[in-house]
Chain A
Amino acid sequence: MSLNIIGISALYHDSACALLQDGMLTAAAQEERFTRIKHDPAVPAKAFLYCLEQAGLTITDIDCLAYYERPEKKLARQLWSGYGCGPEEFDGRLDPKRPEQQIREVLGFEGPIKFFDHHQSHAASTYYYSGFESAAVLTVDGVGEWATTTYGKGVGAKLDLFEEVHFPHSIGLLYSTITNYLGFEVNEGEYKVMGLAPYGKPVFSTKLRKLIRMEHDGQFQLELKYFDFLQGDKMYSQALVDLMGVPARVAESKMEQVHADMARSLQEVLQEILLEKARYLHDVTGMDNLCMAGGVALNCVANGNILKYGPFKKLFVQPASSDSGCALGAAALAHVDITGRRPQNEPMQHVYLGPSFTQSEITTMLEATSFNAHHFAGDTEGLLTEVATLLSKGKVIGWFQGRMEFGPRSLGTRSILADPRDADMRDRINAMVKKREGFRPFAPAVLAERVRDHFDLDHPSPFMLETCQVKSALDLPAITHVDGSARVQTVSQETNERFAKLLQYFNAITGCPILLNTSFNVRGEPIVCTPEDALRCFVTTDIDCLVLGDSIVNRSENSLELMAWMINFQQKSSGIVHDVYTFI
Chain B
Amino acid sequence: MSNLVVQSKKIIAAELANLIFTESNDSTTKQKLIEQLKLNLVDEEQQSTSWFRDEQEQSTTVGIWKPEIRNGDTYYVRDSRRNAEWAYWAQIHEIPPKSSKKRVLMLGESVARGYLYDPYYYPAQVLENILEKYGTSDYEIVDLARTNMDLKGLFEFAADSVNLDPDAMVIFAGNNWYNSVRRDLSKNEVKEMASVLEREGTKGLEQFLLGKFKKLIHNLLKRLGKIAAERNIPVLFIIPEFNLVDWRSSANEKILTSLSNDVLRAWHGAKASAEEALSTGDLKAACGYAQQMIDADHSHPWGYEIMAYGKLQTGLYDEARTCLESARDTSIYYRADSKPRTHALVREIFLEEAHNFDIKVIDLPTVFTQQRGGKLPGRDLFLDYCHLSEEGIQIAMAAAAKALLKYTVGKEVALEDFNAWQFKASDEVKAVAYACAAVHNAHYGQTHDVLYYLCEMAVKCSPVAIEIMTSYVDFATRRISSTLCKSHEKLVENEWINQYGGGVGFLHKREQKIMDIALVNAMIKALKTVNIDLSGSVKALRKKEHGVNGRKVNLLESFYNSTSYDIYQGRTPSFYQSRNVESEFFIVADEGKSVNTKLTYRTPQRNAPSDKINMFINGAFFKELSASEQWSTHAITIPAELVVDEINVVKFVWSSTFEFADVPKFRSKIAKDAILDRLYQVYGEIIHFTASAE
Contact = CB atoms under 8 A, between A and B. Distances in A.
Q: Are A and B a genuine interacting pair, yes or no?
A: yes
Contacts of A566: 483, 489, 492, 504, 507
A96 B668 CA distance: 14
A53 B492 contact: no
A79 B13 contact: yes
Interface in B473-496: 475, 478-481, 483-486, 489-490, 492-493
Q: Please report whether the interface of chain A is mostly helix, strand, loop or mixed according to DSSP.
A: helix
Contact of B600 (A48, A58, A79, A536): A58
19 contacts: A58-B600, A58-B687, A60-B631, A76-B18, A79-B13, A91-B668, A96-B17, A96-B20, A96-B21, A97-B23, A105-B571, A105-B573, A107-B573, A108-B631, A108-B685, A108-B687, A365-B479, A563-B489, A572-B510
B631 A59 contact: yes
Contacts of B510: 36, 572
B630 A110 contact: yes
A46 interface: yes
Interface stretch (A80-88, A327-335, A337-345, A502-510): A80-88
Interface string A568-584: 01101000000000000
A87 B44 contact: yes
Contacts of B486: 368-370
A71 B20 CA distance: 11
Contact of B17 (A46, A76, A107): A76
Given A82-B39, A88-B44, A572-B510, 11 more contacts: A48-B574, A58-B633, A59-B688, A73-B17, A76-B10, A76-B17, A79-B13, A91-B669, A105-B573, A106-B573, A370-B486
B10 to A, nearest CB: 6
B462 interface: no
Contacts of B571: 105
Contact of B39 (A59, A77, A79): A79
A562 interface: yes
A248 interface: no
B85 to A, nearest CB: 13
Contact of A364 (B18, B37, B40, B545): B545
Contacts of A85: 39-41
Nearest 3 CB-CB pairings of A with B: A45-B574, A80-B13, A76-B17
A71 B23 CA distance: 13
Nearest to B689: A58
Contacts of A95: 669
B41 A86 contact: yes
A96 B630 CA distance: 25
Nearest to A48: B574
A532 B481 CA distance: 8
Q: Please report whether the interface of chain B is mostly helix, strand, loop or mixed according to DSSP.
A: mixed
Contact of B37 (A80, A88, A570): A80
A110 B490 CA distance: 49
B504 A569 contact: yes
Contact of B10 (A80, A105, A570): A80
B480 A369 contact: yes
Contacts of B575: 108
A86 B44 contact: yes
B478 A368 contact: yes
Nearest to B670: A91
B46 to A, nearest CB: 10
A59 B37 contact: no
A72 interface: yes
B492 A45 contact: no
B14 interface: yes
A53 B600 CA distance: 13
Contact of B13 (A48, A77, A91): A77
A106 B484 contact: no
Contacts of A76: 10, 13-14, 16-18
A538 to B, nearest CB: 11
A535 interface: yes
Interface string B629-656: 0111100000000000000000000000
B548 to A, nearest CB: 14
B17 A72 contact: yes
Interface string B33-77: 000011111011000000000000000000000000000000000
A75 interface: yes
Nearest to A36: B510
Nearest to A167: B10
Interface in A533-563: 535-536, 539, 562-563
A532 B480 contact: yes
Contacts of A91: 668-669
A60 B481 CA distance: 32
A2 to B, nearest CB: 15
Contacts of A73: 14, 17
B231 interface: no
A75 B21 contact: yes
A535 B484 CA distance: 8
Interface in A385-406: none
Contact of A80 (B9, B478, B600): B9
B268 interface: no
A108 B574 CA distance: 8
A327 to B, nearest CB: 16
A535 B38 CA distance: 54
Nearest to A371: B486
Given A58-B600, A532-B481, A566-B483, A368 B475 contact: yes
Nearest to B11: A76
A25 interface: no
B544 interface: yes
Contacts of A532: 480-481, 484
A60 B600 contact: yes
Contacts of B669: 91, 95
A52 interface: yes
A222 to B, nearest CB: 13
B598 interface: yes
Given A80-B37, A87-B44, A369 B668 contact: no
B148 interface: no
Nearest to A92: B669
A548 to B, nearest CB: 12
A35 to B, nearest CB: 9
Given A76-B14, A76-B16, A90-B20, A58 B37 contact: no
A75 B17 contact: yes
Contact of B21 (A59, A72, A567, A569): A72
Q: Pick from A46, A48, A58, A86 the residue with the most CB of B within 10 Å.
A: A58
Contacts of A567: 483
Nearest to A567: B483
A243 interface: no
B665 to A, nearest CB: 16
A203 interface: no
A369 B573 contact: no
B512 interface: no
Nearest to B38: A82
A60 B632 contact: yes
A369 B484 CA distance: 6
Nearest to A102: B573
A49 interface: yes
B554 interface: yes
Interface in A238-253: none
B485 A46 contact: no
A91 B41 CA distance: 13
A60 B631 CA distance: 7
Q: Pick from A49, A97, A368 the residue with the most CB of B within 10 Å.
A: A368
Interface string B451-485: 00000000000000000000000010011110111
A87 B480 contact: no
Q: Pick from A88, A105, A365 the residue with the most CB of B within 10 Å.
A: A365
Nearest to A47: B574
A107 B687 CA distance: 9
